Amino acid sequence: MNAFMFEIISIVIAFIAFIFAGWLYKWVEKQPSSNAKIAQVGGLIRQGAKTFLNKEYRVLARFAGVAAVLILVFLPSPIWKGEYMQNILMALSYIAGTVFSAIAGKIGIQIATIANIKAAEAAKNGIKPSFMAGFRGGAVMGMAVVGSSLLGVSAVFMITGDTTALLGFSFGASSLALFAKAGGGIFTKTADISADLVGKVELGIPEDDPRNPAVIADNVGDNVGDVAGMGADLFDSNVASMAAALVMAGALDALSGAAINVSMVFCYAAIGLLASIIGVAMAKIGKHGSPTRALNSSTYVTTAIYGVLTAAATYLFDFSWRIWGACIVGLLVGVIIGIASDYFTDDTKKPVHYVARASKSGPAFTVLSGISYGLLSVLPAMIGIAVAALAAYKLCEPMGDGYAMFGISMAAVGMLSIVGMIISNDAYGPIVDNARGLAEMGNLGDKVLDITDELDSAGNTVKAVTKGFAIAAAGLTVIALLGAFMSEVNTAAAELGVEGLVGFDIINPMVFFGLLIGAAIPAVFSAMLMLGVDRNAQRMVGEIHRQFDTIPGLKVGDPNAVPEYDKCIEIATNGAIKELIPAGLMAIIATLGVGFIGGVQAIGGFLTGNIVSGLLLALFMSNSGGLWDNAKKYVESGHEGGKGSDAHKSAVVGDTVGDPFKDTAGPSINTQITVVSLVSSLLSTLFLTMSLF
């Protein structure tokens, strides 16, 4: 079989994923729902999510339009040099990346705002039907995102035959993901923090009490941040890992005159999607089963299926067992990092219990203990990424020049091979979180609330695991993109007859200059996003106070007193749109500044610093945020004094601090790292020829 056949097979499996997603969508849609109040509130959530997404996409379309024109003029080389067809292909690939990413987010919102209603009502019949409605709703997103990424990469490569065009496609996906994740994160945490501070802390009313004017905005935020945003994020990671692997595979195949490495990338990626389809189809839970165990066992089943199928393909098509080994190392390390994240965030484990106990002494101790455990949680994941990169490098090093870095890229492909299942688990979280809110607003009773609380707790735990997985995968992907950057520089250097890159010496002042600036960017980027949440939340808290003070009977629960939910949705939407662009632009402008001042050596240092600092901050913020959230839920379930106690108030404060950590800044950093890596690769020729030093 040649590479073309594997590309065709990849496209066929992508369409199978779309057909399966369509079946799951119809299954969820057919589940019974009859509660008028839930239907009304669900409609408000769906409308709010659509309104935000439409506004956000209009702003991002303008950004993408400007970026596409700049790419057309300057990339891969200035258009006036005569190779205008390459520039056109690059610009079209970029636009395709943004469109595919946007469609994935739109599909996620569409199903999530149906599945939340179905999961809430299904809880009346027990945990099993409610879990299945939530999980299969999330699986629609999983199948759509991975199917789109595999179809997009295969189609762009088939049409252009150019790996640099793939970097353009990946940059389109990454740039949209960066702003979608940042905008969705600012929206969701603005509403969540405001609702919690005024509702729970000041007034002592339940989390999803319909009296709270911010409660609908909070539920909308779960969808635009955790469904559309995370979907775009993992779409971007999956595309970037394949693009980096194919850039290096193409360079290696050009030297050997065969297409074995390109074939292997497509084969392994297609098998990953197939394994996820099988894993989702096999997922189940007993009548009194544990949702956390059901979600985790689905991941382990998918992992095992992938390992067996790729081993069979390696044997059948005579691929390299060393590269298969690198791929499996990445996959296993991804699972191990997930388990480490689970230990620090699961409400059955000691760290959560300790933070809940510390909350009895006041919010300062909640924050201090949460930060400490968050910092501790970084070590296992960083060791995992380091071991995966080193093992993949050493496994493939004996194969010859270029294969060591290609091994790292294949470890990233391996880690992201089961991303269809990972997204399914991740999207399940906000769906059941919404279902819990709908159950409370629809007065479905304590039994239903207990079931949805259990599902929501599992969703929080799994969300922490999937965020850790996504960050680790981004870590390996950007190390592979560093290899892709070197590959692009060396190709351009050979054409220009100048010296290429063999590595980056940190004693070199140019490399060190880039290293220090690159290390600072994730911290500044995080601060800008969290300050955006801070400013926006303060505006919303003022609006909630205004409504409680001016709408007669609202505070005491008069049935005729209806909050102005749309005002809070409007504040969250406008604030998020205003705040989402500056942080992303700052990261891109800093990359351009370092590249045009210090050249490719400085960019090597910049990317290295950005990767290390970004991974550390992203893991710390995601895990500490998940820890605070589950410590609050642990107290609310009756431990350490239960609801209304001093420990509960302290735990809510900790959760409020953790919200922008885990849902705004933390998961956005890995997209920021990917974006600057892709900008560096795309502009490598310009940095090589037009730097100040």
pLDDT digits (tens, 9 = 90+) for 224-283: 887 888 788 788 888 988 988 998 898 888 888 788 999 999 999 999 999 999 999 988
Whole-number Å distance between alpha carbons of 221 and 611? 28
pLDDT beyond 80 at 557: no
Give the list of residues 6+ apart from residue 188 with CB closer than 8 angstroms, or none.
Answer: 218, 220, 221, 222, 224, 225, 226, 663, 664
The packing angle between helices 363-396 and 350-358, to 10°, is 160
pLDDT of res. 1: 56
Q: What is the mean pLDDT of residues 592-606?
A: 94
Q: Is residue 27 very low, low, confident or very high in pLDDT (cuts 50, 70, 90)? A: very high
What was the pLDDT predicted at 464? Answer: 65
Of residues 672, 676, 677, the one with CA closest to residue 185: 672
Q: Which domain holds residue 196?
A: 3-689
Report which of residues 499 and 534 the model is more confident about. Answer: 534
What is the Cα–Cα distance from 344 to 441, expressed in whole angstroms? 32
pLDDT tens-digit map of 145-165? 899 999 999 999 998 888 888
Q: What pLDDT score does 381 carry?
A: 87
Q: For 496-510, how does the pLDDT look when each residue is reduced to its tens digit (9 = 90+)?
A: 888 777 788 889 999
Q: Which residue has the higher pLDDT, 45 or 557?
A: 45
Stretch 650-659: mean pLDDT, rounded? 91
Closest alpha carbon to 101 in 180, 21, 22: 180
CA distance 643 to 652: 10
Return the exposure string of 96-129: e unless at least 16 CB atoms fall within 10 Å of the residue's CB, then b.
bbbbbbbebbbbbbbbbbbbbbbbbbbbbeebbb
Tokens of 422: 């990972």
Q: What would the pLDDT profile of 306-341 be if each residue is shown by its tens digit?
A: 999 999 999 999 999 999 999 999 988 887 887 888
The dihedral of CA 501, 505, 508, 513: what is its sign?
Answer: positive
- Who wins on pLDDT, 226 or 100? 100
Provide the number of structural domains found in the chain.
Answer: 1
Is residue 146 within 8 Å of residue 17, measured between CB atoms?
A: yes
Closest CA to 49 of 41, 37, 38: 41
> Tokens representing 483?
């290899």
Contact 208, 433 (CB under 8 A): no
Of the listed ranges 97-111, 465-479, 623-637, the least confidently predicted one is 465-479
Task: Kindly report the pTM of this predicted structure.
Answer: 0.88
Q: Which residue has the tokens 């990767």?
A: 611
Cα–Cα distance, 61 to 183 (Å, whole number):
14
Q: Region 403-424: what's the mean pLDDT?
A: 89
- Cβ count within 10 A of residue 596: 17
Looking at residue 133, what is its pLDDT? Answer: 93
User: What length does the chain have?
Assistant: 693
Half-sphere exposure of 456 (CA within 13 A, CB side): 25
576-597 pLDDT tens trace: 888 878 988 999 999 999 999 9
- Token pair of 85 as six digits: 């067809």
Evaluate whether 176 touches 65 at the Cβ level (below 8 Å). no
**List of residues 6+ apart from 235 with CB closer than 8 A:** 100, 101, 104, 145, 148, 149, 173, 177
Q: What is the DSSP string of 553-586?
A: TTTTT-TT----HHHHHHHHHHHHHHHHHHHHHH
pLDDT at 350: 93
* CA–CA gap between residue 650 and residue 653 (Å, rounded): 5
Q: Which of 328, 292, 529, 599 is nearest to 425 (CA)?
A: 292
Cα–Cα distances in Å, from 392 out to 42, 108, 404, 685? 47, 34, 7, 28
Range with the poorest average pLDDT among 370-379, 524-533, 682-691: 682-691
Distance in angstroms (rounded) separating the CA atoms of residues 610 and 518:
4
Whether the CB-CB separation of 600 and 620 falls below 8 Å is answered with no
In sign, the C-alpha dihedral spanning 394, 400, 401, 403 is: negative
pLDDT of residue 28: 93
| pLDDT grade for 609, boundaries at 50, 70 and 90 | very high
Considering only 69-78, 87-96, 226-235, which range has the smallest mean pLDDT?
Answer: 226-235
| 398-402, 444-448, 482-486: range with highest mean pLDDT | 398-402
pLDDT at position 211 over 90: no
Query: For residue 414, which of 327, 306, 334, 323 has the smallest C-alpha distance?
Result: 327
